[in-house]
Structure 1
Amino acid sequence: MHHTEGIILSYYNIGEADRMLSFYTKDFGLQNIFAKSVRLTKSKFSAHTTLFSRTRISFVEGREFLRLTYAHSTDQFNIGQDKFAAASRASGLVLRLVRGQEADRILWGMLDSAFSFLRNSSEVPEDFEMIFGVRVLRHLGYVGEVPSEIRAVLENEEWRSESDGISYSLLPIFQKGLRISQL
């Protein structure tokens, strides 16, 4: 049995009651985990497996796939439409870029910090998604050297920039990183 924390990046429904959850976990990286009967109202996991929530989980290796045995949400992601859209795009980028099931504590830290920021901020800054995207692409090796003023934005802990127009400066870097990654 494996125990870790994870953020639910996506899911798809299977049959009438089951769901396959895609977690990015602290200790195991990206994992697709089967949740039996999680969509039933009597399910003990249904409230703890909402999209983009930070969840403590336990899972076992089944014959065909990993199976969820425990879930407890530590941070729910019940927020407005603009934050949900930003979280969707951020998780979509990670799901497209990350392959394999290997722990990456730096990427985990970025995801955890970004989703925590979205949960706790009053609004989504216009440069949030661009900063997130370039940070992820840079960490995964798709972005090389960047100018010092952009490096300062990427290396600080904030998810917004005080610099006007930073999104426009980041856009060509983001696009180049996506081309290199073949997305």
Structure 2
Amino acid sequence: MSYHIYSAEAVILKRWDVGEADTLFSFFTKDFGRIDAKAQGVRYLKSKLRYHLSGFSFVRVSFVETSGDCWRLVDAEEYENLDDIKTNGGKKRSILKVFSLLERLIQGQESDTELWEEVRGFLIFLENNKLDAKDLEDFTISTALNIMAHLGYIDKKKCSNPIMAIQQALEQSQL
């Protein structure tokens, strides 16, 4: 039986260790939206995928469809490493907040190029700019607001207090 191999640019939103050596990844991709894919044996030292799936980077992933909602990861290649983010605790926390929001709000698989560009721009900006704590917090809130507005949770034009709007939208969505 042959399988069709799908490929896409992605960022890793979340990862869970499963069993002895497998890992389940939640990716946000340019072409497929959010997908969950299982990487078999990726935690073994001999795994060829292991070093390309460390997080805080852009990766090209290839996967095949399996039964159920999960995909099987068959290849990954890190093509843009975000080294400055990996060494900056404030930037890491900022990214984890945005990725957690994406994980909660994006349900199902649907291509969304505009949202991909928003997330990509957020990561590239953080990588290339030095921000103090206040600017980093403001930028994170602004990005979260843009994501929620894009997904239809907030009317950005009517929003005078971004933090309050984000909290209300999350409460109303019951996520």
Letter in 2 for 1:54: F
Taking structure 1 as reference, are residues 66 and 174 closer, same or farther at Cα in structure 2, changes over 3 Å only?
same
Equivalent residue, structure 1, for 2:164: 172
1:110 paired with 2:118, answer: yes
**Distance in 1 between the 2:67 and 2:108 partners?**
19
Query: SS in structure 2 opposite 1:131?
Result: helix
Q: Which runs of 4+ in 1 moved over 3 A?
A: none
1:136 paired with 2:147, answer: yes
Contact 2:145 / 2:156 at 8 angstroms: preserved in 1? Answer: no
- Pick the aligned partner of 2:98 from 90, 101, 105: 90
Letter in 2 for 1:103: S
TM-score between the two structures when normalised by the length of structure 1? 0.82
Q: Deviations over 1:67-121 (max 9, x none)?
A: 1111011122433211111111100001101111111111111111111222222
List runs of 5+ in structure 1 lacking aligned partners: 151-167
**Distance in 1 between the 2:149 and 2:141 partners?**
12
Q: Give, in angstroms, the shift of residue 173 of structure 1.
A: 2.3
TM-score between the two structures when normalised by the length of structure 2? 0.85
**Distance in 2 between the 1:28 and 1:18 partners?**
23
1:75 paired with 2:86, answer: no
Q: Deviations over 1:2-42 (max 9, x none)?
A: 01100001000012211001100010010001111111222
Equivalent residue, structure 2, for 1:182: 174
Contact 1:49 / 1:73 at 8 angstroms: preserved in 2? Answer: yes
List runs of 5+ in structure 2 lacking aligned partners: none
Contact 1:45 / 1:70 at 8 angstroms: preserved in 2? Answer: yes
Contact 1:90 / 1:133 at 8 angstroms: preserved in 2? Answer: yes
Alignment of 1:37-48 (within 5 A): 37-48=41-52
Q: Give, in angstroms, the shift of residue 145 of structure 1.
A: 4.9
Taking structure 1 as reference, are residues 2 and 89 closer, same or farther at Cα in structure 2, changes over 3 Å only?
same
Q: Give the paired residue count.
A: 164
Q: Alignment identity in percent?
A: 34
Query: SS in structure 1 opposite 2:26?
Result: strand
1:50 paired with 2:54, answer: yes
